[in-house]
Amino acid sequence: MFKDIEAAVERGCEGRIITSTYQNFTDIESLKGFYMLMSDNNINIEIIRSGRKTIAIEITRDLRVLVRAPFGISDRDVQRFIEEKSSWLEKHISKKIEMTEQQKELAPKFTAEEIRQLADGTLTVIPERVAYYAPIVGVRFGKITIRNQVSRWGSCSSKGNLNFNCLLMLTPPDVIDYVVVHELCHCKELNHSVKFWSEVARILPNYEVPKKWLKDNGNSLIQRLR
């Protein structure tokens, strides 16, 4: 059965979105390999419910499994859907884990001193870019925090507090600006709706270019933190 270990509620233009995290929710013999893989690598399955009409599944670059489901579908039907996709998930998760291990071997882990230097640089650059873009976006922001995160380049709380990854100092300037604008736009829209991306495009019409750079190159940097 489902084991609910975390739940959060966000509000956005798509309506009420409930995000829950589940793990170890079945004991079926034929699926033991899949759940052992998930457990051994500390991978959770996050169920995100919204007003959508279809159910979909994805594996993120940081090895999270996201299941996007309509409000009306039952937990049992969501579980059945995941079980039907277990072979696909096991195959692709194993492949991502293998690639991650190869990247770790090729790139040495950052030292504590290197991380400190990156954080110091980020503390200088990021606040300047936030102060520049905030009035253009038309928002106010709260506290700025620099972290050495392994799952996010930035985040924005409902109070407008902003978090940024120190590894941004190793990315091109347009990538830094993209992440700053991305998080500032979350001060208006705490979601990734069409309205949110339209706001990002208003400020950075070519945002797809730095977004793609992060997709193609970001994971190799983050692996050096693990």
- CATH number reported for the structural domain that contains residue 128 in this entry: 3.30.2010.10
Residue 86's pLDDT is: 82
Alpha helices in the chain (DSSP H): 32-40, 75-84, 86-106, 112-137, 173-186, 194-203, 208-222
Together in a domain, 156 and 206: yes
Together in a domain, 11 and 101: yes
Instruction: Tell me: pLDDT of 12 over 80.
Output: no
Together in a domain, 212 and 133: yes
Together in a domain, 51 and 82: yes
Angle between helices 86-106 and 32-40 (to 10 degrees): 30
Residues linked to residue 22 through DSSP beta bridges, in sequence order: 4, 45
Together in a domain, 129 and 95: no
b/e sequence 66-103, b meaning 16+ C-beta within 10 Å: ebbbeeebeeeebbeebbebbeebbeebeebeeebeeb
| Model confidence band, residue 7 (pLDDT cutoffs 50, 70, 90) | very low
| Model confidence band, residue 23 (pLDDT cutoffs 50, 70, 90) | very low
- Domain end point (choices 55, 90, 106): 106
The single-letter DSSP state of residue 153 is S
Q: Which tokens sit at 12?
A: 């956005």
Together in a domain, 120 and 207: yes
Range of the domain at 159: 112-225
- Domain end point (choices 49, 74, 106): 106
pLDDT tens profile 70-126: 998 888 898 888 888 888 888 888 887 777 666 656 667 889 999 999 999 999 999
Mean pLDDT computed over every residue of the chain = 80
When mean pLDDT is compared across 15-29, 103-117, 164-178, the lowest value belongs to 15-29
Alpha-carbon Rg for the chain, nearest whole angstrom, is 19
| CB count in 10 Å sphere of residue 128 | 10
Together in a domain, 204 and 142: yes
Residues linked to residue 167 through DSSP beta bridges, in sequence order: none
Q: What is the mean pLDDT of residues 56-78?
A: 85
Residue with tokens 């102060």: 131
CA dist 161 → 24, 40, 186 (Å): 33, 34, 10
| Model confidence band, residue 41 (pLDDT cutoffs 50, 70, 90) | low
- Domain end point (choices 85, 106, 127): 106
Residue with tokens 């090895």: 63
Residue 59's pLDDT is: 82
Residue 36's pLDDT is: 66
Query: How far is it, in rounded angstroms, from Cα 179 to Cα 67?
Result: 25
Together in a domain, 71 and 150: no
Together in a domain, 221 and 116: yes
Residue 51's pLDDT is: 87
Together in a domain, 141 and 81: no
Share of the chain above pLDDT 90, in %: 42
Together in a domain, 124 and 66: no
The identity of residue 180, as a single letter, is: V
